[in-house]
């Protein structure tokens, strides 16, 4: 039985010394009769589209991992909250720019007294230096409250509680 090489069209002779699966002329491996492909050791590499499929899986895995890290960040960062300020630490300086007649200023004073917060009050109608400080801070009304480096315009109990949380008694 004669075989014809599919690559170079060489017709195999019975006297050829090459193995049955290899062309004696071009030395390429070809399929034996009755088999659909060459032996496993002589198979060609997969086409470029097939080799990318494996890389695509790795890229997809990498993308999913990055997304999990990005969107999971708030959950693992919430567990590593910053150290709480101890109540023994000194309270930041609290300055209240107010007037005598203001109802919100009165509520702010009552909040500070009820929670044991030390503060300094500066009446902007009684003192010109207090009025100039109030204006430098950008105050456009009363009360204007300075807690350390933070500035609160108007009476805002939630903001006061957040800033003064470690020092509140009530």
- For helices 103-114 and 157-164, angle between their N-to-C axes, nearest 10 degrees: 30
Q: Kindly report, residue by residue over 10-52, the tens digit of the pLDDT.
A: 888 888 888 878 888 888 886 655 444 444 444 444 555 555 5
CB neighbour list of residue 30: distance below 8 Å, 6 or more residues apart: 3, 5, 6, 7, 21, 22, 23, 38
Pairing relation of β-strands 94-98 and 120-123? parallel
User: Would you list the domain boundaries of the chain?
Assistant: 1-44, 47-80, 94-167
CB 130 within 8 A of CB 142: no
Q: Kindly report, residue by residue over 151-164, the tens digit of the pLDDT.
A: 999 999 999 999 99
In order, the DSSP letters of 111-139 are HHHHTT---EEEETTT-HHHHHHHHHTT-
Task: Give 79 or 126, the one with higher predicted confidence.
Answer: 126
What is the C-alpha to C-alpha distance for residues 156 and 164, in angstroms, rounded to an integer?
Answer: 12
Q: Which CATH code fits 94-167?
A: 3.40.30.10
């Amino acid at each position: 039985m004669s075989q014809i090489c599919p690559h170079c069209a060489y017709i195999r002779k019975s006297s050829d010394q090459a193995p049955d699966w290899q062309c004696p002329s071009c030395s390429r491996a070809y399929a034996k009769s009755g088999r659909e492909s060459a032996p496993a050791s002589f198979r060609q590499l997969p086409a470029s589209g097939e080799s990318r499929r494996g890389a695509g899986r790795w890229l997809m895995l990498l993308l999913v991992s990055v997304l999990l890290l990005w969107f999971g960040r708030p959950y693992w960062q919430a567990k590593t909250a910053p150290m709480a300020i101890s109540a023994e630490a000194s309270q930041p300086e609290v300055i209240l720019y107010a007037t005598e007649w203001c109802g919100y200023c009165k509520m702010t004073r009552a909040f500070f007294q009820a929670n044991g917060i030390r503060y300094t009050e500066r009446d902007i109608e009684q003192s010109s230096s207090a009025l100039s400080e109030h204006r430098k801070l950008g105050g456009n009304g009363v009360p204007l409250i300075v807690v350390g480096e933070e500035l609160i315009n108007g009476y805002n109990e939630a903001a006061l509680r957040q800033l003064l949380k470690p020092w509140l008694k009530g």
